Structure formats: structure tokens, C-alpha cells
Structure 1
Amino acid sequence: GLRVSELVEVKVGHLDLDRLMLHVPGFDKNKRTTFFSKHLKESLIKQAGAKNTSQYLFPSERGSTLTTRAVAKFFKKALIASGLKKLATPHSLRQSFVNLMLNQDTDPVALQNTLDLRALNSLPSPNSKKAA
């Protein structure tokens, strides 16, 4: 459920691997905490490697922050390599995550806080839920 602009700012020290949490600097420098799955934990450990806590988790080749445009290019290459015919963007994945959580009866207010959504009306209405 991260925005690309948040993803590129994540540093190794933002990870709490024991509690499966990520401390994310959000919009307007508001910090929030979100969660990740046990399945993602091993990949994050590999990605963090021997980096120190102040280093970016997903650095550019120069070790600085990736640009959001670079992430979009990586995403497009991965989408093509996957063979999926459906158009997708990082934002559409975020929206799909919101829909999945709402379909699993997640509390909308908790979801709003976890994803740093500005307003509850930015969530899909219950009538727009799709059958899984």
C-alpha cells in the first residue's frame, strides 16, 4: 500500500523485521506505520543486505534515492516480463490492495490510517466492492 514517492524514501532503518512493520515518511512529512507479510520479510532482509540503517532500501546505482520515474520504468519492465496482458501501474496496485482489504471487511478507518489516505471518501464505497 505504499505510494511510489514513499517507496523511494524508505531506508533500511525504517524496517522493523521482528514486528513485520515499516515506518513510512508520508505526505507532508507525517510519519505512519504500515505492515508487510511474513512472505515479504525474507526478500526485505536480502534487499537490506549489509546496508547500514541510514541507507536507502532501494537505492539508485549511485546509492542515492531512486526517482519515481525510474520506479515506473522498472515496474513496466517487470509487467512486460511477467506476461500479464492487463495494464497496471504502481498506483493501481495500491488501489487493488485497498479493494482487497475492504472485501475482507477491514475497518475503513484503520485502512485510512494505515495507508495515509486523506479522507474516507477516497476509499471505494461498499457498493463498489467486487466479488472475489
Structure 2
Amino acid sequence: MDIGQVPTMKAAIDQFLQFLTVERNAADLTVKSYREDLVALDEYLGQAYQRPADPAEITPLDLRGYVSAMHEAGYAKTSISRRLASLRTFFKFAQREGIAQNNPAKPLRNPRPDRKLPHFLSGDEIGQLLDAPPAGQTMGLRDRAILEVTYSAGLRVSEVVGMNSGDLDLTESIVRIRGKGRKERLAPLGSFAIAALRRWLKVRVLSPKEKQGPLAPVFTNKFGRRLTTRSVARMLEKYLKTTGLDLRTTPHTLRHSFATHLLDRGADIRSVQELLGHKSLVTTQIYTHVSTAGLKAVYERAHPRARVS
């Protein structure tokens, strides 16, 4: 198609939306989202050019200005990334149809997403949670062992429910963990976790359908079958409600708390990386930010000249 046949963004947008509807059979909500994203760009360019925009004239510099305008307007980085994805798809279509000579959105990178600091529990809150399961009940012994082991070794919930009897060495206080990508590591267990495990294993009953011996699941449900990650999440939610602790807490929060508490007490970050089974140190470094935030909070509370009163 000759570029002059589609002189404005509005006409190009209408053609693109028709393509989505007719040829791609896109959902109404998808078409609506594309329309909103593209109309917003058209309005921005109309103000910048002081005339209707021609898709063939739009440059990466124009789109960088548009991205800057979105940042200044307070758009979330996820919203900006979504709009850029819409523009890439639109200009790819425009280039194929001869409406534009190239794709000016292609060189643009999505804004780097903010890394949210992980939620964690204080030492006192961890103690309160670990003491919550009733010691006089079989399931209470199991629940306490799960919570103690998860926090003691900083495990993922999938690693906890995947533990087998043969993975435990209670004499040496270690457990073999199969992490992501089937990568194995040895994790140390503290004395509280070992004691809780011993109490639970004395009363654990296995279903005849479960594998026995070294492959027997460490943690089972009331029917003697291997516990699921969802069951652990429900169990934790129950104790959060009884203790009044933050309901945002998940099984993974215990892993976050483990790492944060180690670093707060002077542990080397490389050692924490190894204990967590992180492939990259970058993943572990998020916990240094948590520790720094905690130190700053303490400083601001305690130092007489930390802030203006």
C-alpha cells in the first residue's frame, strides 16, 4: 500500500483494529485495550506535531518523548511496558502493510520493573508463629515440624513437601534438598527443628499407597499421603488467624525471614546464597536491601539527630 493512502494515525489505527477483529478474531477487551493505547499516542503526537500525526513520520525519538511524558504523568512501569508492547505490535503491522517504513517502537526498552522488598517476620513474630501449633495433637506436631524446618533451613514450600525420609540425617542435623532444576544441596537444621522432626516422626502414619523406606514422605496429611503445597498454605493461614499475625504472610515469608535474620546478624551474603540455593548472587542481594531498610528504621528511631522533630 502507498504510504500516502493512510496519511493519519487515526486511519492507521482503525485499519489495525479491523485487522485484529476480523483476521485475528481478537477479544473485544483486547481490541479495546489496543484502541486506548494507540489513541493516547495519537493524542500526544497531535499535540507535539500541532497537526495529525503520520505513522510514516514517527521516530524512536518521538516515542521516547511519549515514554518520558508517561513517566512524568506518574504512570506505573507495568502500564508503560504494556503500552510499548501495543505500539510494537501496531508498528509491526503498519510496516508490513506499507503504512510505515520501519518500527520506531522496536528499539525502545521496557522500563526496569521495581523490585519489591520481600515481606518478612521479626524474630518475635517467628517465635509466636512457631509456638502456635498445639503440641498435644498429632497434626499440631506435624505443623510445628513443618514451620520449624521451613524457617530453620530457609526452604521453599515445594522443597518441604518433597522431602523424603532418606533425605534426613538427624544425627548430623542436615537434610538433602532438591531445589529448582533438580539441583541438590545440603541444608543444616537447627536443634529446634530436629527436636520437632523427631516428635513428628514418632507419630507419623503412612498410607499403604505411599512408598515406604527412604522414599517415604516426611510430611503427610491425616490420611498418610504426601502433603501438598496448598495444604501447607492453608495450615499457615489458620495459625496466622489464631496468632493475629500479618495475613500477607505465606510459606515463602519464612524463607524471606530466614535470609533477612541471617544477614541482620552478620552472616556472609555468599553463605546465605548457598543456603538458599540461589544460582545468582543478584537474587540474594534483595535481602541486603531489607536489612538496610531495617537498620535505617532503627537508626531513625534511636538517634537523637536522625530527623527533625
Give yes or no for TM over 0.5.
yes
Residue 111 (1) aligns with residue 264 (2):
no
Cα distance in 1 between the residues matched to 2:246 and 2:203:
37
Task: Look up the equivalent residue of 1:66 and give its one-letter code.
Answer: L
Instruction: Report SS of the residue matched to 2:177.
Output: strand
Instruction: Report SS of the residue matched to 1:95.
Output: helix
Cα distance in 2 between the residues matched to 1:57 and 1:78:
21
The answer to which of 62-71 and 7-16 deviates more is: 62-71
Look up the match of 2:3: none
The answer to which of 15-24 and 83-92 deviates more is: 83-92
Gap change, CA 1:113 and 1:14, over 3 Å in 2: same
Q: CA deviation at 1:66?
A: 1.6
TM-score by length of 2: 0.40
Q: Does structure 2 retain, via aligned residues, the 8 Å contact 1:26–1:32?
A: yes
Cα distance in 2 between the residues matched to 1:78 and 1:66:
17
Residue 92 (1) aligns with residue 253 (2):
yes
Residue 198 of structure 2, aligned match among 14, 25, 45: 45
Look up the match of 1:55: 216
Gap change, CA 1:128 and 1:85, over 3 Å in 2: closer
Instruction: Report SS of the residue matched to 2:221.
Output: coil
Q: CA deviation at 1:68?
A: 1.0
Instruction: Report SS of the residue matched to 2:163.
Output: coil
Residue 70 (1) aligns with residue 223 (2):
no
Gap change, CA 1:79 and 1:50, over 3 Å in 2: closer
Q: CA deviation at 1:98?
A: 0.7
Q: Does structure 1 retain, via aligned residues, the 8 Å contact 2:260–2:288?
A: no
Look up the match of 1:16: 169
Cα distance in 2 between the residues matched to 1:102 and 1:96:
10
Task: Look up the equivalent residue of 1:40 and give its one-letter code.
Answer: A
Query: 1:11-70 deviations in whole A, cap 9, x for unaligned?
Result: 122111111111111111111111111122111011222764331111133433222111
Instruction: Report SS of the residue matched to 1:34.
Output: strand
Residue 32 (1) aligns with residue 185 (2):
yes
Residue 80 (1) aligns with residue 241 (2):
yes
Q: Does structure 2 retain, via aligned residues, the 8 Å contact 1:47–1:57?
A: no
Identity value in percent: 29
Gap change, CA 1:35 and 1:67, over 3 Å in 2: same
Q: Does structure 2 retain, via aligned residues, the 8 Å contact 1:3–1:94?
A: yes
Structure 2 stretches lacking a partner, 5+ long: 1-153, 205-212, 299-309
Query: Higher strand fraction: Structure 1 or Structure 2?
Result: 1
Q: CA deviation at 1:76?
A: 0.4
Runs of 4 or more, structure 1, over 6 Å off, are none
Q: Does structure 1 retain, via aligned residues, the 8 Å contact 2:241–2:247?
A: no
Q: CA deviation at 1:85?
A: 4.2
* Alignment RMSD (CA, Å): 2.0
**Count of aligned residue pairs for this structure pair:** 132
Higher relative contact order (CA 8 A, sep 6+): 1
The answer to which of 91-100 and 59-68 deviates more is: 59-68
Instruction: Report SS of the residue matched to 1:53.
Output: helix
Gap change, CA 1:85 and 1:110, over 3 Å in 2: closer
Gap change, CA 1:30 and 1:85, over 3 Å in 2: closer
The answer to which of 78-87 and 112-121 deviates more is: 78-87
Task: Look up the equivalent residue of 1:13 and give its one-letter code.
Answer: G
